[in-house]
Structure 1
Amino acid sequence: MKRVIVIVLVGLLAWQGYLKYQASRAENLVRQVSVDVEPSSGPSPRKSETVPSDLFKCDGRTHCSQMRTCAEARFFLQNCPGVKMDGNNDGIPCEQQWCK
């Protein structure tokens, strides 16, 4: 019985490590994406606005507490219906948790 518990705990730790690795990988990819914008009279877009869509998918999550990174929150805000992550409607999600 102890062996089963140890195996389950090791599996859970490995899964958490994998999820953190994926989140950091996604954040690094978003940082590498640069947006080439001609100077204009309006405000300049943020570099991290472009999020590769193959990293995330709409899966029903709607709140900041369900996100793991700012990049993930941005993707959900821009691509998924019914999210509740931009209380002041300024286009920046999860400002108190992820996108400071």
Structure 2
Amino acid sequence: MKCIKNEVNKDTYQRWYSIYNDEIVNLKVGIERYSNDQNIAFKILEKNLNKLTDMKFIFEQADILQKREFVNIVFDSNLYYENGFYRTPTMMDLFSVN
């Protein structure tokens, strides 16, 4: 639509269209493959389900921005560093047992 309104030039539109169309096709192929044999999807889920509760694993797999967001959520954005220790006056109840 933006190409028609001359808000994006034709070369840019064709490049974006190609990139996103390839991504759409790849996602559709993946959906189709796992829709045909749900056992594959369930095996992958079963293999990795325990990792969803492994906070250390989740934290180690995250990039720096995800780690920052994780810490902010867990410590309710109240984590600070003082005298060589990290401290927080609050923490999500869910994580207080750990």
| TM-score interval, smaller chain | 0.3 to 0.5
Which structure has greater strand proportion?
Answer: 2
Structure with the larger helix share: 2
TM-score (norm 2): 0.34
The structure number with the bigger radius of gyration is 2
What TM-score does the superposition give when structure 1 sets the normalisation length?
Answer: 0.34
More contact order relative to length (CA 8 Å, sep ≥ 6): 1
